[in-house]
Amino acid sequence: MLTSVIRIMWRLLSWEIFLHKYRKLSKIMFYVGDLETFSWKMLFVSEDFIQQSRHFL
């Protein structure tokens, strides 16, 4: 159980590091990458929230 939590945390951390490098490489895709990050995180939190937020977008 503990190892799976650590693996998930490590994947999230490595993903964050990758996104930071990705943002530094291309400033044009900064906003798009930010939206993708937000969408993925909200997807894990709640799909209902995304469906509700689509009405505002």
The span from the CA of 3 to the CA of 49, in Å, is 29
User: Is the Cα dihedral 44, 48, 52, 57 positive or negative?
Assistant: positive
pLDDT in tens, 23-33: 666 665 566 66
pLDDT in tens, 1-57: 788 888 888 888 888 777 777 666 666 556 666 767 776 766 666 667 656 677 665
